[in-house]
Structure 1
Amino acid sequence: MGEFQGLVAFSVTPTRPDESIDEDRWCTHIDTLIEAGVDGVAIFGSTGSIGSFTEAERRRVAEVITKHVARRVPVAIGTGAITTAEAVRLSEHAEKSGADAILVVPITYWPLNEAELCAHYRAIAAATHVPIFAYNSPVLTGVDMTPNIIVRLCEDGRVQYLKESARDLLRIPHIKEATDGRLRIFGGRDDSIVEALRLGATGWTSGAVNIVPRACRRLFTLANGSQELSATHLLQRRLTPLMSFLMDKGHVSVCHTALEILGRPVGAPRRPILPLAGKDRVQLEAILRTLEEDL
């Protein structure tokens, strides 16, 4: 079973004009990411529009993608769901499909307290054997898994990875110390990944990598080096307009629109999410023109 480290691509979910999932295009897109040097792939994360697809669709894709990747890199399957029962079913299926980890974000309409979050994750852990990749995304989910909650989730050793997307980067060294380094922490915000790595994150879970995979690969490599500070900051400054635009306008809409502009179309997001239009699209086109040498 492959371990996650380094640069992990949170893939978009390609679609056809009728909004069905385009499996062939998805496989081609993932091949592009692997060829660019990503260290792992995650499907049905936030950039993959996790809340937009049915349980049956997600089961089918888990089988297709794990078979296609064929152990070239580790694969994490997003199994977050609004009920614990569905998350358990998806997690069991992801394990049977050959996932190297299950990526669990708390999707909910109701605010969850600490006891509810811990019970949710422990039910998933009890039903599976593969490592759990916890995903804290308070802006998108409305649920903030605080450092204390993360520490509790790690007690039984099943939660081995964390994508931390909270704005407070100082959580990273705090969680790292509180878990005695047992938890592998990944920076989850594209716009502050260099800072996250400097504060103790050991990897980068990226949505921007869908658009500029080689530039993201280079930035991660530079940021982990000790002699390339000026080159790191130069590339970071060049990528900052795109990273900030992603955070401001939404990874799903921006990634789908950018790939269409770049001639690597993956279809439109499933509605109600829409591609960018008007001034937003014009601004994105301008940003991408400044990155031509990095594409």
Structure 2
Amino acid sequence: MMETGKQFYGIIPPVPTILFKEGKLDRKGMGNLIDYLIESNVNGLFFLGSGGEFSQMSAELRKEVAEFATSYVNGRVPVLIGTGTPGTNETIALSLHAKKVGADGVVIVNPYYFKLTEESIFQHYCEIAENVDLPILFYNYPELTGVDLSPELVLSLAERYPNIVGIKDTVVSVGHTREMITTVKSKFPDFMVFSGYDDHLLNNLALGGAGSIPLTSTFAPELSVGIYQAFKQGNYGKAIELHQKLASIIRVYKLDSPFMNVVKAAIHLKGVDISTECLAPVRSATNAQIEELKKILFETTEVKYGFNYSNKEDLND
């Protein structure tokens, strides 16, 4: 009997993997970030997503991160582990490992590199669902995978496998997420649709979605968490106010590509004691990028990011 009962909702940050320069896991820094996020009232944590640099990692490092994360969180919030790979067998192996170390669910991006047919993607997820006794969320990111998971495909898989429980829909078009919600949730009301892009959160909630898995929530959780809490309390004015700030702060993503280096720098500026090293080919943020980052953070939030906001001259320190 497949496990299906776990419910995920709200704001679930995709946690960056904190590493030393040589690519080894910085356990102390990772713990500092986990504690900070849990204390910020997030509703869960997602490890080894795109912002967690899974695509640059060996299977051994992915397993080490999964084991450390689930152990350190220790049941304080639900833990999701990203286990997607281009191959079905390796994805199953990583998913079974995630279950072994205590994850509450897995998030599986569709195979990348080859552009599979919809039938091949269907069979890929069928084989995973039949072999992995954990709640499964899809990760739809067509901008990087080259293939979109259609609402009809997701519905057909949810109809067949009760352990397929949700999706992170990282798509530019809010209409895609709307169709995902109306198509799948009309038949499975408990199916969880999360927005991947940060500024889609409010729209997601208004349509009946589950929340968001936004990378900005790793360094500005007060924005996404605040939107979610205000919406649930019916304080829509506050939700809109915070949404406008969130829509502005996502300018940090334009500072580099990929942008996990500036995100780690933002977390460090927030005052969380972490290493900001990244796995090659990603490089650490430059001084110029950090200066631009400081300006964006100063303009979009009243929270102090590791320097004195009362004096704009300090932005250049």
Give the structure-2-normalised TM-score. 0.87
Greater mean alpha carbon deviation, residues 279-288 or residues 64-73? 279-288
**Any idea what the Cα deviations from partners look like across 1:210-260, whole Å, max 9, x if unmatched?**
11122321122123332x222222222223221243267444132112123
Distance in 1 of aligned mates of 2:202 and 2:183: 22
1:233–1:146 Cα change, 3 Å: same
Question: Is the 8 Å Cα contact of residues 13 and 266 (structure 1) preserved in structure 2?
Answer: no
Greater mean alpha carbon deviation, residues 13-22 or residues 193-202? 193-202
**Identical-pair percentage:** 27
Q: 2:264 aligns with which of 250, 256, 262?
A: 256
For the residue of structure 1 that corresponds to 2:290, the secondary structure is helix
Distance in 2 of aligned mates of 1:120 and 1:112: 10
The answer to whether structure 1 residue 230 and structure 2 residue 234 are counterparts is: no
For the residue of structure 2 that corresponds to 1:273, the secondary structure is coil
Partner residue in 2 for 1:242? 249
Which residue identity does 1:268 align to in structure 2? E
Distance in 1 of aligned mates of 2:79 and 2:261: 23
Greater mean alpha carbon deviation, residues 28-37 or residues 252-261? 252-261
Which residue identity does 2:153 align to in structure 1? I
Give the structure-1-normalised TM-score. 0.93
Distance apart, 1:140 and its partner CA:
2.1
**Any idea what the Cα deviations from partners look like across 1:67-124, whole Å, max 9, x if unmatched?**
1111111101110112111101001111111111011012421111111111111111
For the residue of structure 1 that corresponds to 2:71, the secondary structure is helix
Distance in 2 of aligned mates of 1:33 and 1:163: 20
1:143–1:266 Cα change, 3 Å: farther
For 1:76-155, list aligned pairs within 5 A: 76-155=80-159
Question: Is the 8 Å Cα contact of residues 106 and 135 (structure 2) preserved in structure 1?
Answer: yes
Partner residue in 1 for 2:281? 272
Ranges in structure 2 where 5+ consecutive residues have no aligned partner: 305-317
For the residue of structure 1 that corresponds to 2:107, the secondary structure is strand
The answer to whether structure 1 residue 47 and structure 2 residue 54 are counterparts is: no
The answer to whether structure 1 residue 288 and structure 2 residue 297 are counterparts is: yes
Ranges in structure 1 where 5+ consecutive residues have no aligned partner: none
Return the index of the structure with the highest Cα Rg. 2
Partner residue in 2 for 1:216? 224
1:2–1:147 Cα change, 3 Å: closer
For the residue of structure 1 that corresponds to 2:110, the secondary structure is coil
1:201–1:139 Cα change, 3 Å: same
Question: Is the 8 Å Cα contact of residues 118 and 153 (structure 1) preserved in structure 2?
Answer: yes
Partner residue in 2 for 1:62? 66
Question: Is the 8 Å Cα contact of residues 223 and 245 (structure 2) preserved in structure 1?
Answer: no
Question: Is the 8 Å Cα contact of residues 261 and 284 (structure 2) preserved in structure 1?
Answer: yes
Count matched residues. Answer: 294
Partner residue in 2 for 1:204? 212
Distance apart, 1:23 and its partner CA:
2.0
